[in-house]
Structure 1
Amino acid sequence: MINDEYFLAALRLASGNDPIPGHVSSSARDAYGLRVPGAVTAAPADRGATRGVRDDEGSHLVRFVTEGLTFDLEVTIGDGLIDVAGHVSPYPGEGALIDVRTPHLTLTRRITNSGEFAATGLPPGWLSVVCHRPGHKAVQTRWVRIRP
């Protein structure tokens, strides 16, 4: 991770005579557009407590935790696409929705009464999940890179 001092020094150097390449500015705008204003970010956690869930070669298990909400994700890669089966606990309540996001695609899913959701056919690469609960701030996972 880049610290603030390094970032500011790099910006000072970049503001010299060399113009910023167009693709850099475009990528920065794209990255800024992926944020969820006001959201709480759930951090990756040890998945040791997810016993009983398969973890074969084509499946990756990821857990994200924040105060009051846990995401358990099983990411499966097949035929060049990603499938996500997830569980949010505790149950976030009636009307809660999940966004399964890539940089270029967002699939919105309803959460079952048991806290489960699924999304299929996502492109490989970066992935994040956002839980929208009525009356609460959104909770998002950090972005993770899923490779085939």
Structure 2
Amino acid sequence: MTAPADEYLLAALRIAAGTDPVPDRVSADARSVFALHLPGGIAAVPLATAAGEGARSAQPHERPHAHRYAAAGLTIDIEPVVAAGRVDVAGQISPAPGAGSLVEVRTPHVSDSRVPSEGGRFVVTGLPAGWISVVCHRPGHPPVFTRWTHVRP
């Protein structure tokens, strides 16, 4: 009987030798994830939010989960909501990012961009359920992005 570490080593050797190839789906997913990389971007760190924060739902059991992130002098608040199997994302960048800025809401397969309001607010609707990330693009500054958040239908 081999130890678990030995089994992992043997599996890695089989993959390297080509006798146990990486499934096509795994390779395609890895390429997709790499394409989402933002060179020079700044990762915003999650901040605590008050319990029950989020105001877009009338039913307590349907209460959306607000998320707050901060980096590079910006605070990014997002509130994803699932409606009819699709994801709507409302949010705000504080302080407002200014003229020429763009907010991009990304999924692994699709992204949608909006010019934020003067107050830094934005809304993107109709995204597929699953993983989302928000990126704030400001002229003359590196992009600031949130970590990936999983939104379930």
TM (norm. structure 1) is 0.84
3-state SS of 2:66 partner: strand
CA contact (8 A) 1:58 1:77 kept: no
Q: Deviations over 1:40-78 (max 9, x none)?
A: 011221012x98742741422111111311111111111
Counting matched residue pairs gives: 139
2:92 maps to 1:87: yes
Cα distance change, pair 90–15 in 1 and its aligned pair in 2 (3 A): same
Offset of residue 87 of structure 1:
0.4
Q: Give 5+ residue unaligned stretches, structure 1.
A: 1-8
Q: Match of 1:63?
A: 68
Q: Match of 2:23?
A: 21
Q: Match of 1:108?
A: 113
Amino acid paired to 1:100: V
2:41 maps to 1:36: no
Amino acid paired to 1:114: G
3-state SS of 1:37 partner: coil
Cα distance change, pair 19–96 in 1 and its aligned pair in 2 (3 A): same
d(CA) in 1 for partners of 2:100 and 2:35? 25
CA contact (8 A) 1:58 1:78 kept: no
Q: Match of 1:124?
A: 129
3-state SS of 1:75 partner: strand
Runs (4+) of structure 1 exceeding 3 A deviation are 9-14, 50-53
Cα distance change, pair 112–11 in 1 and its aligned pair in 2 (3 A): farther
* Identical aligned residues as a percent: 44
User: Which of the two has greater strand per residue?
Assistant: 1
2:44 maps to 1:47: no
Offset of residue 104 of structure 1:
1.2
Amino acid paired to 1:138: P
d(CA) in 2 for partners of 1:26 and 1:45? 33
TM (norm. structure 2) is 0.81
Q: Give 5+ residue unaligned stretches, structure 2.
A: 1-8
Root-mean-square deviation (CA, aligned residues, Å) is 2.2
d(CA) in 1 for partners of 2:24 and 2:149? 26
3-state SS of 2:114 partner: strand
